[in-house]
Amino acid sequence: MTGPRTQAERDAATVEIMFAVVTGALLAALLFFVCASPALFSDLGGAAEKAWLTTAATTATAGFAARVLQVLWWLPRKRRG
């Protein structure tokens, strides 16, 4: 792009960023719940429960990052090219 961006382009970028963050957060919450279910709904020992919760947090973080990158970086390039 050359020159200053229009108000419509700035608004579209804002909407795209918010969409990425909201859908990333929803995906992260879903992934955390699915991965942490054994720790939340069963009686595990302390070490096993901590392992499940750590795995759930790691998976949720990776899912969030992947979704945000997909929306903000890969999809606009795919539309252009």
**pLDDT for position 54:** 96
Distance between CA 59 and CA 39 in Å, rounded? 15
Q: How confident is the model at residue 28 (pLDDT cuts 50, 70, 90)?
A: very high
Answer yes or no: is pLDDT of 76 > 70.
no
Q: Which of 64, 38, 57, 59 is nearest to 49 (CA)?
A: 38
What tokens were used for 61? 């973080």
Distance between CA 75 and CA 61 in Å, rounded? 20
Answer yes or no: is pLDDT of 78 > 80.
no
**pLDDT for position 2:** 64
Matching residue, tokens 């973080």: 61
Give the chain's radius of gyration (CA, Å): 18
